[in-house]
Amino acid sequence: MVHQYIKEGGFELNVSLGTALVDMYAKCGQLEQSRELFDSMKEKDVISWNVMISGYGLHGDAKSAMEVFQQMELSNVKPNAITFLSLLSACTHAGYVDEGKQLFGRMQYYSIKPNLKHFACMADLLGRSGNLQEAEELVQSMPICPDGGVWGTLLSACKIHNEFEIGIRVATCAIESDPENDGYYIMLSNIYGCMGKWDEAERTRELMKERGVAKRAGWSAV
């Protein structure tokens, strides 16, 4: 409707307006219309490309997201940190491990330094696929200090795949990074419980009490 109004009103479809419409269609799930409009744009900037890539990723079409990225490179438009974050997110949800690793390495070619969100995406990608050791090594080798979000992502993967030994190490680091997060204490306590290490589980809960960390609704301790 908005697009039709613009057409009938004779408004010029410049980069900003075209990008906004591409974004609107994509977020509404109308990817065919979004792509048709995107392809018809005479000029596209990095934001235009990012919006189209993000739109595909948002709706689980990682393959199309990567195809658009390839076209972006062929068009000599330099991607930025947001481009790669959208691509890594798409690969994570699609389970494209090898492609995600290649894209993460591709960032160096463009002199883009990964930030915490990029590392969290990679930890999630590797963790979901069961590559917990590789994910842990990646996080431990980060040139920036991992935050609770990065550790939490990895910890969730350990829980899913029952990787208790790695889970203990990760949970300990997560607590050190974000000592006010009750979820990390509870997950660590539960891991100890699953291993039959009840004394350690109790000590973890006691540590939580000593630090005045309250358990929120929704978490369950063993």
Does position 1 have pLDDT exceeding 80, yes or no? no
**Structural domains of the chain sorted by starting position, each given as residue range(s) with its CATH number in brackets:** 1-113 (1.25.40.10), 146-222 (1.25.40.10)
**pTM across the whole model:** 0.86
DSSP structural state of residue 29: T
Q: For 104-133, how does the pLDDT look when each residue is reduced to its tens digit (9 = 90+)?
A: 999 999 999 999 999 999 999 999 999 999
Q: Which two tokens stand for residue 191?
A: 């891991």
Pick the closest to residue 52 from 99, 95, 97, 20 (CA basis).
20
